[in-house]
Amino acid sequence: MIKKDKKEVELIQVNNMLEVGGKIDRKDNAFEKLMIIYTSAMKTLRTKLDVLNEEFKAFYDYNPIDHITERIKSPESIIEKMNKKNLELTYENLIEEIKDIAGIRIVCSFKDDVFKLVDILEGFQDIEILERKDYITKPKQSGYSSYHLIINVPVAFSEQTIYVKVEVQIRTVAMDFWASLEHKLKYKKDTSKKASKELIKCANIISKLDDKMLDIKCNV
């Protein structure tokens, strides 16, 4: 008996549940069903994080979590991203290659809180971390700073459990402030070279502010 690759198993599970395959067709309801699967994965992970948040509030003197947000990519955004990646519009490519359809953002107070939460997520026995990108230790050229994880989340349906990818972004309040405003400026109009340089300067200032606030925390 040939042992199937885990990715192949996950794809078969989803396709069997949707009873579809091949090219994406927005006229059928398979796309909507697929979004329900991703939404369920996001809810499953969000519940774990909410329990963790309540634990910190109730049992410890300090809670590293400031707030948590979540989002599902719109169908238009998914198709646009697939086109940008030059992917054929198939369900297989969508499931395997688009890894941030479901997303959760955890915003922390201090920089060391980010890495503490990464360690906690790594310790969850029923999830699997597939990818990690540390843009805090090494920010993007644009100045963007955050910690990204792609996580496989088990979602229990009536007849089977399916592992579904969810992107988790963990950042500080200061990083979130910069990223939010940068996002609005970027999508408002084409960002000039001068504006890009100014944004990088602001990101450096925010990074120094994060370090200073962490120093104050450690010395209080």
Over its C-alpha atoms, the chain yields an Rg (Å, rounded) of 19
Q: What CATH number did the domain enclosing 130 receive?
A: 3.30.460.10
Is residue 107 a part of any domain in this protein?
yes
- Residue 86: which domain range? 6-174
Question: What value does the mean pLDDT take over residues 171-177?
Answer: 96
The tally of CA atoms less than 13 A away on the side-chain side of residue 199 is: 24
Is residue 73 a part of any domain in this protein?
yes
Q: Residues 101, 73: contact at Cβ < 8 Å?
A: yes
Give per-residue pLDDT as tens, 5-51: 555 555 556 655 555 556 776 666 778 888 899 999 999 999 999 99
* Catalytic center residues: 167
Q: What is the Cα–Cα distance from 111 to 170, expressed in whole angstroms?
A: 10
User: Angle at Cα 161 formed by Cα 156 and Cα 166, nearest 5°?
Assistant: 80
Is residue 214 a part of any domain in this protein?
no
Is residue 87 a part of any domain in this protein?
yes
Give per-residue pLDDT as tens, 131-166: 999 999 999 998 999 999 999 999 988 888 889 999
Question: What is the pTM (predicted TM-score) of this model?
Answer: 0.87
Look at the chain and report how many structural domains it folds into: 1
Is residue 202 a part of any domain in this protein?
no
Q: What is the Cα–Cα distance from 59 to 220, expressed in whole angstroms?
A: 21
For residues 49-58, one letter each, b for 16 or more C-beta atoms within 10 angstroms of the residue's C-beta and e for the rest, the string is: beebbeeeee
Is residue 118 a part of any domain in this protein?
yes
What is the model's pLDDT at position 174? Answer: 95
Give, for 76, the enclosing helix (H) or strand (E). helix 75-84
